[in-house]
Amino acid sequence: DIQMTQSPSSLSASVGDRVTITCRASQGISNYLAWFQQKPGKAPKSLVFAASTLQSGVPSRFSGSGSGTDFALTISSLQPEDFATYYCQQYNSYPLTFGGGTKVEIK
């Protein structure tokens, strides 16, 4: 199975900050990488697929990058509605696997 490791596991930031979350795959996954946002008590929401393509309707302050084993999700200017937990997920091979999540909290 491909292991997905996210860092950090949590971070505190202020509105307007630039935030970057990283995700590392235990083996190469090309660009078969998605990012999801999850708020407490809610289902995940798709943000990015194919490592860097924004899902329709996702604000342009979100961006994804990387290929192979190292990936990143960047929020260029953190907004109040962005405080949530973010997960990466590989879909290069089965079983699909998710990172452990990064909780973005208000400083």
Partner 1 sequence: QVQLVQSGAEVEKPGASVRVSCKASGYTFTTYALHWVRQAPGQRLEWMGWINAANGNTKYSQTFQDRVTITSDTSASTAYMDLSSLRSDDTAVYYCAREGAWIDIWGQGTMVTVSS
- Applying CB under 8 A, the residues found at the interface with partner 1 are 34, 36, 42-46, 49-50, 55, 87, 89, 91, 94-101
Minimum separation from the CB atom of position 15 to partner 1 (A): 27
Minimum separation from the CB atom of position 98 to partner 1 (A): 4
Minimum separation from the CB atom of position 104 to partner 1 (A): 16
Closer of 66 and 99 to partner 1 (Cβ): 99
Burial 44-61 (b: 16+ CB within 10 A, else e): beebbbebbebeeebeee
| Sign, Cα dihedral of 54, 55, 61, 66 | negative
| Whole-angstrom distance, CA of residue 95 vs CA of residue 2 | 8
